[in-house]
Amino acid sequence: MNAAEPTGEPAPDAVKNPAVQGRIPDDQIPQTEAEWKKRLTPEQYEITRKKGTERAFTGKYTDTKTPGTYRCICCGEPLFTSGEKFHSGCGWPSFSAPIDKTRNKTVAEHADDSLAGVPGFGVRTEVTCRRCGAHLGHVFDDGPPPTGLRYCINSASIILDEAKK
């Protein structure tokens, strides 16, 4: 089989994903599940396309303090900056605001009632990449000033572009 032909098999690593290098053109955003599976690692696919969640304290960016811009692993869209990142202790990377400092713009918000029947949970607010629809995590109203928000984001849904020194 030609390596360029889509197989529907998961990518063995993120090297096959052009979004790792930067924001990809609109016409290069996958349109089918098979294309997403080919481009993303199994973990990235489960989290971004199937609304999964990585285990707490296991993500690559949970504790990093490296300066830079966090982009969507699916389409490369810039989503958050390291200047808005803080250590919340929740086990996932946390940000007080998206890159544009505006709610429900670059990072879209949706009601998530998937845990509504579980004691101690109610309706949460899911956040996704506005451009490609990738599930990123959730936003909560227990963050630091000035926004009071905590964008709780799966490390597998983002990639860090380190700031140039």
Cβ atoms of 73 and 135 closer than 8 Å: no
* Annotated catalytic residue 152: yes
Cβ atoms of 35 and 6 closer than 8 Å: yes
Residue among 61, 77, 78, 60 at smallest CA distance from 69: 78
User: How many whole angstroms separate alpha carbon 66 and alpha carbon 37?
Assistant: 29
User: How many whole angstroms separate alpha carbon 78 and alpha carbon 106?
Assistant: 8
φ/ψ region of 138 (left if φ > 0, alpha if ψ in -120 to 50, else beta) reads beta
Strands lying side by side in the sheet with 68-72: 78-81, 68-72, 158-162
- From the list 72, 129, 132, 152, the catalytic residue is 152
Catalytic sites, residue numbers: 152
